[in-house]
Chains A and B, each alone.
Chain A
Amino acid sequence: MSVTEMFADIQGFLSADQDIREDIRKVVQQLEQAAREILTLLQSVHQPTGFKEIPTKCAKAREMFCTVRTHMADLKTKFPAEQYYRFQEHWRFVLQRLAFLATFVGYLECEALVTREEAAKIIGIEVVREEGFHLGVEDYLAGVLIMASELSRLAVNSVTAGDYSRPLRISNFINELDSGFRLLNLKNDPLRKRYDGLKYDVKKIEEVVYDLSIRGLSKEPDNAGDK
């Protein structure tokens, strides 16, 4: 085989690769759009009026995840299933966003951590690599960390809205997450970088809890009502 032929062969491979990437990018754009819409909806829980409507907002967000699931099903058809990691960088960001949205909805509903299995189900993908398009453990954890910073914001805003007990519950939840993350031996990678931000979220929530307790606002709500 001549040198020219050999390079022509490789060029053929490279352009086929580019076509796949092009296709993936299109679907990922749609996914990002869907994720933004859900985020906008959920952002309104920070509004004082939003607190009472949390259950309805969550129900609506759950509905919107349907779009995400159809786009995900579309994305799966764009590349060979066993080459997930070859193209991973295209959807890593949006997948972490979706993991965040899924865990956030789950937290708002039942104030507990959504498991990786449950989050994957909401997004419409698998958990184990062998079964196809999956939610990798790093992406799930990254999503959980985004949720943690969202919750620290929620703690501040719930005080503003007059809900003094929520920050305490959030504080307990975040502390549990923190001790969970302490179990992990993280390498010097993007996940580790993001984890390093968790302590600021913890600190922020602790400050809110402190402010509430020195003013006696975190006491049992009956007592607070008496004063």
Chain B
Amino acid sequence: MSKGDAQGCLKKSGGLQERDASANASSSPVIAAFKVFQQELDTKHDKHERLVKISRDITIESKRTIFLLHRVTSVTDVESILKESDVKLDLVRRKIAQIAEELKGEDIYQFHRAFTAGIQEYVEAVSFQHYIRHRTLISLEEINAMLVFTEAQSTDAKEPAEEDAPPPTVTAVSAPPFQVIPSDYLLGVADLTGELMRMCIGSVGNGDIDTPFQLSQFLRQVHDGFSYIGNSGPYEVSKKLHTLRQSLAKVEDACYALRVAGSEIPKHMLADVFASRDAMMDADEGVA
């Protein structure tokens, strides 16, 4: 090592001691920079946590709505159940309004993972209700139209909703709207098919002969739609396609049994046949 080099090093290590001293005083530029990073990261994590919590609430409420809607097969007054589910879904929408509020000015995809589960569950619930009411598949545009929030809606959150389905024809839009992204919609609809399968088996058990056939036709359409998308969709969609096939097979089997048995058994005994078939299905599900 030349003498010049050595002196250069000496000078540098002298400067270094100064820097070290300032680090101890916690005022070094590095420490100051990291304090800023700490704040930024904490803010981000807090927001994420809040979104996860809202998403969980949405999931729970949506699941309850779905349970409620499954009762339509066994009661005569379908309209009252639909009204009740409207009230529940309204509550869920208020929670989604909170998400929209949190995401104001943010990139929705940055926090998407925090609330995707809740939104999928909501899509499932709202499309299930839509099917029971209109016997059609709700479109992504219709779902998004329901998620345009007005100031009035978010302020009267305290009092129980008296009006049913909030009118989508709102004029003053002050709160930020929430947009369901296509992949969440797809996954929600894939879950819907599972609910429809349960509804089909349930209605067979109650001796309802028309619903299973309607359902099998609808499920076939949805299945064809998913087959059309195939692997070009997100990874989770192709995973759900398998479950969808199983659900469809169950419904088709039920319809088959209905046709075969229906031709030879007197109408008043049908309920018994399907009650036993239903039990078989449940056992089948337990294995899978």
A interface residues (Cβ-Cβ under 8 A, vs B)? 1-4, 6-11, 13-15, 18, 82-86, 88, 111-113, 115-116, 129, 137-138, 141, 162-163, 165, 168-169, 172, 175-177, 179-181, 183-187, 220-222, 224-225
Are B42 and A185 interface neighbours, CB within 8 A?
yes
Chain B 9-33 interface 0/1 with A at a Cβ cutoff of 8 Å (1 = within) = 1101100100110010000111101
- The segment from B72-80, B224-232, B276-284 found at the interface with A is B224-232
Number of interface residues of B (CB under 8 A): 46
Residue B1 is within 8 A (CB to CB) of chain A in the complex: yes
* A159 to B231 Cα, complex, angstroms: 55
Residue B287 is within 8 A (CB to CB) of chain A in the complex: no
Closest chain A residue to B34, Cβ basis: A180
Nearest CB of chain B from residue A224's CB, rounded to whole Å: 8
Closest chain B residue to A186, Cβ basis: B41
Are A172 and B20 interface neighbours, CB within 8 A?
yes
* A183 to B42 Cα, complex, angstroms: 11
Residue B6 is within 8 A (CB to CB) of chain A in the complex: yes
* A220 to B1 Cα, complex, angstroms: 13
* A205 to B146 Cα, complex, angstroms: 60
Are B34 and A4 interface neighbours, CB within 8 A?
no
* A116 to B19 Cα, complex, angstroms: 20
* A69 to B19 Cα, complex, angstroms: 33
B interface residues (Cβ-Cβ under 8 A, vs A)? 1, 3, 6-7, 9-10, 12-13, 16, 19-20, 23, 28-31, 33-35, 37-38, 40-42, 45, 107, 109-110, 112, 136-137, 139-140, 182, 185-186, 218, 221-222, 224-226, 228-229, 232-233
Nearest CB of chain A from residue B10's CB, rounded to whole Å: 6
Report chain B residues within 8 Å CB of A169.
12-13, 16
Not counting A3-B224, A18-B232, A220-B13, a sample of 19 additional A-B residue pairs whose C-beta atoms are within 8 angstroms of each other reads: A3-B218, A4-B225, A7-B228, A10-B140, A82-B107, A83-B109, A85-B110, A86-B107, A115-B33, A116-B33, A137-B37, A137-B40, A176-B19, A183-B35, A184-B34, A220-B10, A221-B1, A221-B6, A221-B7
* A185 to B42 Cα, complex, angstroms: 7
Report chain A residues within 8 Å CB of B33.
113, 115-116, 180
Candidates A86, A172, A220, A224; contact of B19 at CB < 8 Å:
A172
Nearest CB of chain A from residue B114's CB, rounded to whole Å: 12
Candidates B136, B182, B221; contact of A14 at CB < 8 Å:
B182
Report chain A residues within 8 Å CB of B20.
172
In this complex, which of B37, B140, B233 has the most chain A Cβ atoms within 10 angstroms of its Cβ? B37
* A25 to B221 Cα, complex, angstroms: 35
13 residue pairs bridging A and B, Cβ less than 8 Å apart:
A2-B221, A4-B221, A6-B137, A7-B224, A10-B140, A13-B182, A84-B110, A165-B12, A165-B13, A172-B19, A183-B34, A185-B41, A222-B10
* A13 to B185 Cα, complex, angstroms: 12
Are B1 and A162 interface neighbours, CB within 8 A?
yes
* A183 to B23 Cα, complex, angstroms: 14
Q: Is the interface of A mostly helix, strand, loop or mixed?
A: helix
Report chain B residues within 8 Å CB of A172.
16, 19-20, 23
Closest chain A residue to B113, Cβ basis: A85
Report chain B residues within 8 Å CB of A185.
38, 41-42, 45
Contact A86 to B109, CB < 8 A, known contacts A14-B232, A15-B232, A220-B10: yes
Nearest CB of chain A from residue B70's CB, rounded to whole Å: 22
* A3 to B10 Cα, complex, angstroms: 78
Report chain B residues within 8 Å CB of A8.
228
Closest chain A residue to B137, Cβ basis: A3
* A187 to B16 Cα, complex, angstroms: 33
Candidates A3, A13, A86, A88; contact of B222 at CB < 8 Å:
A3
Contact A176 to B41, CB < 8 A, known contacts A86-B109, A181-B34: no
Candidates A1, A183, A187; contact of B139 at CB < 8 Å:
A1
Report chain A residues within 8 Å CB of B45.
185, 187
* A111 to B226 Cα, complex, angstroms: 57
* A22 to B120 Cα, complex, angstroms: 27
* A52 to B34 Cα, complex, angstroms: 32
Report chain B residues within 8 Å CB of A18.
232
* A129 to B31 Cα, complex, angstroms: 23
